[in-house]
Structure 1
Amino acid sequence: MTYDDLSPLIDAHIHLDTYPEDQQLTILKDLQNSGLETVISVSMNLESSHRNLELARRYHELVQPAFGFHPEQPAPSIDEIQALFSFMEDHVNDMIAVGEVGLPYYSRIEALAAGEAWDNRPYEDLLEQFIMFAKQHHKPIVLHAVYEDADIACDLLEKHGVTSAHFHWFKGSPETTSRMANAGYFISFTPDILYEPEIRALAQKYPITQVMTETDGPWPFEGPFEGRVTHPRMTADVAAAWADIQGIDLRKARQMLYDNARRFYGLSTH
């Protein structure tokens, strides 16, 4: 079976701008020959948003940019927040989504474990601003919110009536998972679906019309991907693993994953 026999795939979450430039060029050169149609390149902050906008302008439909502020870093200043939202307003027609945004679960856990004081309110307030922006401009939102943080995110999404939400690389309790599924929120699976029991169990039960493939590159993976640069072509491995877990024919599984991502991000079919 060749790529010509299969639906293309979409990497629904990658930090393309954070790769070294030579790796960016290699990835983009390889993209269509790897059975990929496009990548959703999410941003870390304002500088990252600028870089993703430039990539999207240079590579057109191969790169779809999302703008936001990754929560696993020190909270931005008021001036930094204002500058980012001003940029997003100016380029609202260029951005496919708000993201990556969310709550700093891992930073918070590390700080508390070290006996350090932690104030989550600035992050929750900023997330609410991003959700309100997404609502105002009818944009989907890409979330970094795992475990109990996902419930806070769900509360804010419900408060503002935002239903087009993508929880990337999600982990959480059965109760939170059911809440998200019932609300119509999407999740996406990374290459660790091949070897992480927690993720494989989630893949088995989450609604098949609300899932997508991602890499979160350049984040590295273990198992069969040990020592390899994370590449969007790994979404093919994700799709094959998901098809096996679901007991679905690979051709049908890839078509479904592609259609899900296209529908969530409002992309036209080629």
Structure 2
Amino acid sequence: WAAETAAAYESVHATVALHPNEAPRIVHGDPDGWSRQGAREPGGDAALDEALAEIDRLAALPQVKGVGETGLDYFRTGPEGKEAQERSFRAHIEIAKRHGKALVIHDRDAHADVLRVLKEEGAPERTVFHCYSGDAAMAEICARAGYFMSFAGNVTFKNAQHLRDALAVAPLELVLVETDAPFLTPAPYRGRPNAPYLVPVTVRAMAAVRGTDEDTLATALAANTARAFGYPQA
């Protein structure tokens, strides 16, 4: 659907992937189920290979600008699902590199393993940590590797000082902003569904953290986004 919509509208672009939580569901099965037939039985490695082949096909399309969200999620997936997640992650890295697309990382409670796999596989030239959730020390590691760090509305949360510390040390040329709708609505609008119209609220808070004005930050964010996803720059 995302690729079809991006093909239909010039102003829309897509990324494609199996979310990290989907890989264990495909391989092992679970009450939610995942298959084209609607079955709830485990599909095994062959089913995961089939799904990855579909992502590979979609990633080749010109309106698809990235491969992701892919990565590791240890919050919703237990130890029994780690192997399938990591196999899927490694396959997505290879797909992104082969098609020359940005890699969009989902990293939840899995910082060390995400960084390890990226190092072992060799990250694509353009790698984005979607909804960056690490601390300042991890931001310095990402900066040395040239990874983009994308901040969402939770950078405004009172209990998210680690995100503000990370934003403060991240090189300006590697900083991005995002909605991550419908969740992570920035303060003071928490409780509402998140949507793109609230991105300026997040940008305003980010500018305050970095001690810069909003226009300067917005200009940098636009240029960084173009570089990260291969858009023409104005």
TM-score for both structures, normalised by structure 2: 0.81
Q: Quote the residue 1:215 is aligned against.
A: 179
Q: Quote the residue 1:166 is aligned against.
A: 128
Amino acid in structure 2 at the alignment position of 1:99: G
Q: Quote the residue 1:86 is aligned against.
A: 53
Q: Are residues 229 and 246 of structure 1, via their aligned partners in 2, closer, same or farther at CA, if it must alter by over 3 Å?
A: same
Q: Quote the residue 1:76 is aligned against.
A: 26
Q: How does 1:150-229 map to 2 (within 5 A)?
A: 150-162=111-123, 163-195=125-157, 196-221=160-185, 223-229=187-193
Q: Identify which range, 77-86 or 52-61, moves more after superposition.
A: 77-86
- The alignment of Structure 1 onto Structure 2 pairs a total of residues equal to 211
Amino acid in structure 2 at the alignment position of 1:101: T
The structural deviation recorded for 1:75 is: 3.4
5+ long unaligned stretches in structure 2: 28-44
Which secondary structure does the structure 2 equivalent of 1:96 belong to? strand
The structural deviation recorded for 1:93 is: 2.4
5+ long unaligned stretches in structure 1: 1-50, 112-116
Cα pair 1:144 1:167 within 8 Å, conserved: yes
Task: Tell me if 1:57 matches 2:26.
Answer: no
CA deviation profile, 1:104-123 (whole Å, cap 9, x unmatched): 22114xx5xxxxx6341111
Which secondary structure does the structure 2 equivalent of 1:143 belong to? strand
Q: Quote the residue 2:95 is aligned against.
A: 133
The structural deviation recorded for 1:246 is: 1.1
* RMSD, aligned CA: 2.0
Cα pair 2:136 2:163 within 8 Å, conserved: no
Cα pair 1:135 1:160 within 8 Å, conserved: no
CA deviation profile, 1:98-157 (whole Å, cap 9, x unmatched): 01111122114xx5xxxxx6341111111111111112221110011144x222222222
The structural deviation recorded for 1:88 is: 3.1
CA deviation profile, 1:182-209 (whole Å, cap 9, x unmatched): 1010111111222232222221111111
Residues of 2 paired with 1:221 and 1:235: CA distance? 9
TM-score for both structures, normalised by structure 1: 0.71
Seq. identity, %: 25
Q: Are residues 98 and 251 of structure 1, via their aligned partners in 2, closer, same or farther at CA, if it must alter by over 3 Å?
A: same
Cα pair 2:75 2:108 within 8 Å, conserved: no
Residues of 1 paired with 2:213 and 2:191: CA distance? 30
Q: Quote the residue 1:66 is aligned against.
A: 15
The structural deviation recorded for 1:243 is: 1.2
Q: How does 1:85-104 map to 2 (within 5 A)?
A: 85-91=52-58, 92-94=60-62, 95-104=64-73
